[in-house]
Structure 1
Amino acid sequence: MSLEKPVGTIFGHPKGLFLLFGTEMWERFSYYGMRAILVLYLVALTESGGMGWSNSDALSLYGTYTFLVYVTPLFGGWLADNVLGQRKSIIIGGLLMAAGQFTLGVPHEYIISNEMTFFYTGLALLIIGNGMFKPNISTMVGDLYKEGDHRRDGAFTIFYMGINLGAAIAPLIVGTIAEKFEWQYGFIAAGIGMLMSIILQVSLGNKYLGDIGIEPAVKQSNTKGQAKKESLTKIEFDRIKVIFIMSAFTIIFWAGFEQGGGLMNLFASEYTDRWIMNFEVPASWFQSVSAIFIVILAPSVASCWIKMDHKEPTSPVKFALALIFLAIGFLFMIGATMQQGGDITVKTSMMWLIMAYLFHTLGELCLSPIGLSMVTKLAPLRLASVMMGIWFFFTGMANYVAGYVGSFIGESTESANNAMVIFAGIAITATLSAVIIYLLSDRLVYWMHGAEGVHQPQKHEGSIIAQQGMSTERI
């Protein structure tokens, strides 16, 4: 059976891409709005509506939460592939996440039962919902394109701009509401963003996505004459090896990058001079900096890859570049701690943070959209969302490591020195990892069996992109 594919393009891409762009943008508004205020809410004094936690405890909880957010896509991907289909999984996940945000948004004075039970219930709903939503929205982007379609990497860069447009707006709106009015109002604003995402998908999905994501992937494979328990082919096995190896290297990148929502968030709040004339910039606004840079720089980076043509770096080389950019970013954070001179009462320039976020953003553009595209190129159809879930599982491990490492900042006068050690350690680790993956790059490309375009594409029964064609007729 051939699935019906929607026709028609905008800017040379299927219209469904822009629906997924909007759906993901509002979901990321919800996630990054909550992410921007979570640690600040936890460490805020109880008399100001916060939880009154220590820095270490807040960063530890942040790491555990973000770890689980990225682990549950593994199970959500399996459910979508085997039972629900991607579209239904996205709707269920979105509803659960909205419920989680609104649970966190209940003011303390209205909570009759144990306050911590209520708080953890909200987090649990967000974690489970994200697991249902995250791997499936990304996989559907890949499903819009057939094997060998040169637009695929560009599509993921456009899609990634949607992610970061939501991430850029969220801290400015949610953070301002939370810090200037009441923390709970911030969570409610994030919940409203999640509802917008669901409304878009429910109202426009059938029109612009056709049958994409309705049938579970395993059912599609069986319809095409494949047994559900069919063994992996040699090509499939090699390609899955690449997904696992490159996912492992992302742990280093994301463990450093995610300091942005934890340790660097606290650094902005406690150790950064945020005054511009008579206005104090809310600490949560710095969570928008990286996303704003992505929206500005993503078109240029995507255009750069296209102009390089056959000289374009392979995915492993781009990953190595990402790690180098991460290391450079942390050199600026080392500069910030050096400006403090070991005195935590000294407030550092905002430019240190801004420059760090700039280079972290360049690294993200070399890794994240490329990685999402890579998974859809290499994963067997019957394991499509599961493989995407595994990609996010490694990101979850990185988030846990990020929270654990950041918690060593401590509470004492030694915190400035501790911060320098953390920043330097991440920079050194990222540089060494970049060298290793660069040395492995040729072997990894060989195992991709043409998916990078280095060899002629080899259509085989296992690949998502080999099995899901798409009409690209312009109307």
Structure 2
Amino acid sequence: MEKKDAAVGKHAIPNQTLEIEGPQLFGHPRGLMTLFFTEMWERFSYYGMRALLILFMTAPLVNGGLGFDDVTSGAIYGLYTMGVYLFALPGGWFADRLFGLKKAVWYGGIIITIGHFTMALPGLLHLFGDQSMPKGELTGLDLYSFFAGLVLIVVGTGLLKPNISSIVGQLYPEGSSKRDAGFSIFYMGINLGAFIAPIACSTMAVYDWHLGFGLAGLGMLLGLVQYRVTGHHLDGVGEPPNAVTAEEIGQKKILARWATGLTGVAAFIVLLFFLGVFTVDAPRVAAASNNIILLVALLYFGYLVLFGGLSVVDRKKVGVIAILFVFTALFWSGFEQAGSSLNLFAERFTDRTAFGWEIPTGYFQSVNSLFIIVFAPLFGSLWVLLGRRNLEPSSPLKFALGLFCLAIGFLIMYFAAKVAASGQLAAPTWLVLTYLFHTFGELSLSPVGLSLTTKLAPKKYAGQLMGMWFLSIAMGNLIAGRIAGVAGGGSAEALQDMPSQYLLIVWVTAGAGLLLFFLSFPIRKLMGEVK
């Protein structure tokens, strides 16, 4: 989802002609291309591995997978994708206060690369080392390398993802009319990486799952090399904050000690897990994490409204953000099933044969990015055209439209599931149409949510409320993984229940969209848009 957040809804600031200093390429800072390719390769690594993740976990041992059941696999998938967004919060915080944005991107990329190669380790050892390694049975190396790789990717992405976007913004002077165009170019690189990666990594996974993970790591490695070679084009942007006074230097040292200590504690806990001192029940952890995120959100918004020292106007705006937090989490809980339950549907119940060749399942994960590349400019133009005629929907209505599109996508999946439950393979057209409507929903909601959060957030809480936006996405990803555990059709009973599961999602998302439609007028009053 984050790969398209700034692809639409960006309009140039009128009457601004601030000049960009330093070397340029096609009117933009040369550093933009450095960040373009770094992010492209990072997204290549992320979406390439994500296309394989739940398929690898649920694949039988004899097929080189982990042989986990759907519930466990869905919970691990949800916890992983949740962690990617949660760790963006401390990742941005440490970069701002300790080592700077530029180094955060570098360190994050290194950790991501190590994570992917760690996941690829069993396959690489078998391919290039001991050919007698056991096949069809789960070894300690399989499990340790898999979980260690996931942890490293989460930590690395938390460092890289929020900070590279911040550097893009800092390349341009405040108020520059080219900033929005620069972000559009940057996000096109994201979508390009997300489109190519599932095809490339899934092709390698046909031969060995771990080769697919390894290719994802190779992509991140290429991004790191490019970042190091062309990093001088950033012209000092993203350097560490300067500590001038003795007090500032002391505070920075204290932060560094805390960061080192927390990292050490976390590493020790992970080590204890790998040593078998304790075990983790992924479904229970996922359920508990869901409750914790919801509780944190309730407490934070309650504190802000009651004790945040806000004016009446700002309290109303925070209330709007809190309302949209719920609808945002609901949207992503459906949309992010692309990599979980819908991925399993493509694997198990879709006719993927074309001209005598079986299309790798992961190829379907590129469909959404392709639609984004095609339709994002059209949606941007549509909003501009409607705006000129005073017909552009309000932000809450765009949210509602996103939920309706999501519901239509799952209604299509309801009929596809009916075909699968009858014992036949569904045509791939069902999935493609589902991804099409989900893309329409994303383009209606995602950019609007980001923009609205920055617009409504009181200045002194702007960073924290942007963090709450990411928290809502994290919660949605976690729920999506948990849904996949019951909607994946991994057993005969689950297959028969699949149509009703999808229909339930249709009713929930359509009902939420209808509720938001009726709430749009009072929400606009809270926002101060109508009297």
TM-score (norm 1): 0.81
Distance, in Å, in 2 between the alignment partners of 1:240 and 1:145 is 29
Among 328, 335, 339, the residue aligned to 1:250? 328
1:186–1:232 Cα change, 3 Å: farther
Partner of 2:220: 194
2:115–2:153 Cα contact (<8 Å) kept: yes
Partner of 2:50: 35
Listed one character per residue, the Cα deviations across residues 120-146 of structure 1 (whole Å, up to 9, x for unaligned) are 111110111111122223344444567
Partner of 2:445: 367
Question: Is residue 2:416 matched to residue 1:336?
Answer: yes
Q: Which amino acid aligns with 2:218?
A: I
Distance, in Å, in 1 between the alignment partners of 2:398 and 2:86 is 25
1:52–1:96 Cα change, 3 Å: same
Partner of 1:415: 494
Among 432, 435, 448, the residue aligned to 2:511? 432
Segment drifting more, 286-295 vs 330-339: 330-339
Q: Which has the higher contact order (CA 8 A, sep 6+)?
A: 1
Question: Is residue 2:213 matched to residue 1:213?
Answer: no
Partner of 1:459: none
The number of aligned residues is 436
Distance, in Å, in 2 between the alignment partners of 1:56 and 1:113 is 21
SS of 1:107's partner is helix
Among 188, 192, 196, the residue aligned to 1:161? 188
Question: Is residue 2:404 matched to residue 1:324?
Answer: yes
Partner of 1:178: 205
1:250–1:216 Cα change, 3 Å: farther
Q: Which amino acid aligns with 2:350?
A: T
- Which structure: larger Rg? 2
Distance, in Å, in 1 between the alignment partners of 2:497 and 2:223 is 40
Partner of 2:293: none
Distance, in Å, in 2 between the alignment partners of 1:11 and 1:445 is 40
Question: Is residue 2:303 matched to residue 1:288?
Answer: no
Name structure 2 gaps, 5 residues minimum: 1-18, 127-132, 134-138, 249-307
Question: Is residue 2:72 matched to residue 1:57?
Answer: yes
SS of 2:68's partner is coil
Listed one character per residue, the Cα deviations across residues 417-470 of structure 1 (whole Å, up to 9, x for unaligned) are 3221222122222222223333444555566679xxx99xxxxxxxxxxxxxxx
Distance, in Å, in 2 between the alignment partners of 1:369 and 1:161 is 14
Question: Is residue 2:152 matched to residue 1:72?
Answer: no
Name structure 1 gaps, 5 residues minimum: 224-230, 456-475
Among 128, 132, 135, the residue aligned to 2:162? 135
Q: Map residues 388-399 of structure 1 onto 2, 5 A cutoff.
A: 388-399=466-477
2:70–2:486 Cα contact (<8 Å) kept: no
Using the TM superposition, give the Cα deviation of residue 40 of structure 1 relative to its aligned residue in structure 2, in angstroms.
1.2
1:6–1:16 Cα contact (<8 Å) kept: no
2:122–2:145 Cα contact (<8 Å) kept: no
1:71–1:60 Cα change, 3 Å: same
Question: Is residue 2:113 matched to residue 1:98?
Answer: yes
Q: Map residues 75-86 of structure 1 onto 2, 5 A cutoff.
A: 75-86=90-101
Q: Which amino acid aligns with 1:86?
A: L
Using the TM superposition, give the Cα deviation of residue 178 of structure 1 relative to its aligned residue in structure 2, in angstroms.
0.9
Using the TM superposition, give the Cα deviation of residue 257 of structure 1 relative to its aligned residue in structure 2, in angstroms.
0.8
1:369–1:91 Cα change, 3 Å: farther
Using the TM superposition, give the Cα deviation of residue 47 of structure 1 relative to its aligned residue in structure 2, in angstroms.
2.4
Partner of 2:343: 265
Q: Tell me the C-alpha RMSD between the 2 structures.
A: 3.4
1:42–1:52 Cα contact (<8 Å) kept: yes
Using the TM superposition, give the Cα deviation of residue 335 of structure 1 relative to its aligned residue in structure 2, in angstroms.
1.5
Question: Is residue 2:377 matched to residue 1:299?
Answer: yes
